[in-house]
Amino acid sequence: MEKVVLITGATSGIGLACARKFAKNGDKLILTGRNRQRLAEIQKELTDVGTEVLTLVFDVRDREAADRALSELPEGWREIDVLVNNAGLALGLEPEYEGRFEDWDTMIDTNLKGLLTMTRFVVPGMVKRNRGHVINIGSVAGDAAYAGGNVYCATKAAVKALTDGLRIDVAGTNVRVTNLKPGLVETNFSNTRFHGDTERAANVYKGIKPLTGDDIADVAVYAANAPEHVQIAEVLILATHQASGSVIVRQ
């Protein structure tokens, strides 16, 4: 059955991989992001292979812009079946006592407040229709802190708590809630964390075959298409030679 799938942060990494995988699944896509040109390119790519795609240009940190975009959805797009809260980032790897205030604000406003904003605007409709699925992209970093991770780890621990809390809140409905917790995934994540230091970012993946965005998207599509009585509550996805957020064996 065709679904309407809304994916935040869909212009790269896991979000883009999810867009492509849900497109292959035959779903209609609402893709959000800050980069209008990149969204247009992705829309053309997916439309050319027969996928219906609607793009919304806004930053999830901007609550008014999110509200406006969602309230203006055209007929046929308003009943969102799957919300993939993917937009998120890590900034910096300094000790907590040396962290940058602006980095903290960006991570908290995006990883937590942005997720809450989208949840607040989309889930009431799911509850009213008594169907839907929220997939939050958490992280292994939410299980335990690692050196320099401090605030980022805290935001992903909070994503777990918010996901669990939402699952409790909708337990009397047919709405399902999933937390996907990736480990080391090779995307532009590390480049963003290190403020564009490409060499430093590349070192993160040396000596190990990391996960790809496609690996995470495969799990998201599987969870969204599980039988109605099956709720994939939480999945930890690690590279074979990664045991936790801090234990990585490089060869």
Please state the domain extents for the chain.
4-181+211-236
- CA 238 remoteness from chain centre: 16
What tokens were used for 133?
A: 């699925």
Nearest to 133, CA basis, from 89, 79, 53: 79
Residues of the chain with pLDDT under 50: none
Q: How far from 40 is each of 11, 37, 68, CA to CA, in Å?
A: 10, 5, 20
From CA 221, how far away is CA 237, in angstroms rounded?
14
The structure's pTM equals 0.95
State residue 204's pLDDT score: 86
What tokens were used for 189?
A: 């994540």
pLDDT digits (tens, 9 = 90+) for 159-185: 999 999 999 999 999 999 999 999 999
Q: Is 144 helix (H, G, I), strand (E, B) or coil?
A: coil
From CA 213, how far away is CA 202, in angstroms rounded?
16
Q: Is 72 helix (H, G, I), strand (E, B) or coil?
A: coil
State residue 196's pLDDT score: 80
Instruction: Give buried/exposed letters for 116-151 (b at 16+ CB in 10 A, else e).
Output: bbbbebbbebbeeeebbbbbbbbbbbbbebbebbbb
State residue 2's pLDDT score: 92
**Which residues belong to the active site?**
152
- Paired residues of 31 in beta bridges: 7, 55
From CA 34, how far away is CA 148, in angstroms rounded?
27
State residue 190's pLDDT score: 75
Architecture of domain 4-181+211-236: 3-Layer(aba) Sandwich (3.40)
Three-point CA angle 71, 72, 78, nearest 5°: 70
State residue 198's pLDDT score: 80
